[in-house]
Every structure is written in C-alpha cells, then in structure tokens.
Amino acid sequence: MNELKIFHYGDPVLRKKAKKVKQVDDDLRQLMAGMVETMVEEPGVGLAAPQVGVSLRAICVRELLSRDEDEEKDEDDVWGQTWCLINPVITKRSKDTQTGNEGCLSLPTLLAMVERASAVVVKAHDLEGNEVVIEASGLLARALQHEIDHLQGILFIDRCDKDTLAWMVPDEEDERGYRLDPTTMEEAVERFDRLRQRESKQ
Ligand code: ZN
C-alpha cells in the first residue's frame, strides 16, 4: 500500500503557492502513484500535491461517469479516465457557470455550493513529459478548477456561498444515505483545529 497522509485544513502547506515542477523523474512518478492510490482509496475525484504535504504543481483527477451508487455496479462503470497533470494551467474558461456542491479531502465531510466555470481547457504535462490538453465540462471541469486552485493556496471555502456550508452526516433514513447539517465557517474552522490537534498527538 502506497497511501499517503492527507494534510488537513489549518496546515500551512495548503496555503502556500506551490512550486513549478522542473523535471519529471522517478520521485515525482512515485509521488503521483501514491496520490492516485490515495484518491481512489478515499474516494475522491481529485487530489493536489499540497494536500499530501508536497508543495509542487502536480494534481491528479478522475472522471466520474455515474453517480449511481448501486453496489452491483462495476468500478469501471462508475469511474472513467484518470489524469496525472504536471504544471497544469487553465488556458480557457467558459463564461457560463455551474453551481454545485463541493467538498475537499483536506476539509473532511464539509460541503458548500461553489460557482465555477462550466467548461475549461487545461494544458499540462503528463508523467512521460508529453504535453496534454484536456477540454472538460461538468464535474471534471469543476474538479480541475478545484485542484488547480490548491496550487495557488486557494481552498473551496474561499469561493463558496458561505450560507450553504454544511456537514455531510451519514443518515440511513435519508434516501441519499446522508443528510446535510448546516454549519458556519467559525464552527468548521474550530472542528478542523481539533482534528489537527488530535492528529499531532498520534
Ligand atoms: Zn481539495
């Protein structure tokens, strides 16, 4: 197992502007393999290197094909392609926007509505050093914008509608399997401070 430790809200690494990757080498490939594994394990739609404590411009994202959480469903039917992107840059963003619920593995179980461009074009390099161009819309476009924000030290709570902040709480009585308990930024910050205190004692 290659799973990496996720750094949580309050850690300074999440607020740093990440450095450009100068060379794609085996160390970086190993880091990205660990990031992909961690993203799959959590599970998440994306992960940025600062979230595993590495302040470099590298992200991984994957495409969600179906939100249907039918247990019979094969993993391959739910998840599409995975990308590892080095030095990703948004070269184009649509004027029209999408607003949807967003969360982050560095701020576990917190959700809020975030307005993002509906579609983006991202240029980056892959792990072989080749240039890649991704034209994305929908959730993949949202994930790319969210992860590239991480490289600037920007988190979704900086962009969200603060009135929609909520905890995702498992709830068998709800048909989604969870309910949303409204919260405030102050309460969320307090909870993540406690989480980090617990982690530092481990
Ligand atoms: Zn995130």
Per residue in 142-182, pLDDT tens?
999 999 999 999 999 999 999 999 999 999 999 989 999 99
Q: Tell if the pTM clears 0.75, that is, is over it.
A: yes
Catalytic member of 63, 102, 147, 175: 147
Distance of CA 48 from the midpoint of ligand 1 (Å): 7
Residue 134 maps to a domain? yes
- Name the token pair of 55: 């302040």
The pLDDT score that the predictor gives to residue 17 is 98
By CB neighbour count within 10 A (0-12 exposed, 13-18 middle, 19+ buried), where does 64 fall?
A: middle
pLDDT digits (tens, 9 = 90+) for 28-73: 999 999 999 999 999 999 999 999 999 999 999 999 887 655 556 6
Torsional class of 153: left (φ above 0), alpha (ψ -120 to 50), beta (otherwise): left
Residue 55 falls within a domain, yes or no? yes
Ligand 1 centroid, distance to 104 Cα (angstroms): 4
Residue 192 placed within a domain: yes
Tally of structural domains, the chain: 1
Concerning whether 175 is annotated as a catalytic residue, the answer is: no
Maximum separation of any 2 CA atoms in the chain, in Å: 51
| For residues 130-145, average pLDDT | 97
Does residue 186 fall inside a structural domain? yes
CA of 146 to the centre of ligand 1 (A): 6
Query: What's the length of the chain?
Result: 202
Which runs of E-coded beta strand occur in 65-202? 79-93, 97-102, 110-117, 119-125, 131-137, 166-170, 178-182
| 97 assigned to some structural domain | yes
Closest CA to 90 of 56, 130, 126, 121: 121
Q: How far is the CA of 108 from the centre of ligand 1 (A)?
A: 10
Structural domain including 20 reads 12-201
- The C-alpha R_g of the chain, in whole angstroms, comes to 17
Give 130 Cα–ligand 1 centroid separation in angstroms.
Answer: 25
CATH number at residue 174: 3.90.45.10
137, part of any domain: yes
87 Cα to the center of ligand 1, angstroms: 17
Question: What does the pLDDT read at residue 70?
Answer: 56
Asked if residue 157 is part of any domain, the answer here is yes
Q: Does the residue 113 lie in any domain? A: yes
Q: What is the pLDDT of residues 77-111, one digit of tens each?
A: 788 999 999 999 999 999 999 999 999 999 999 99
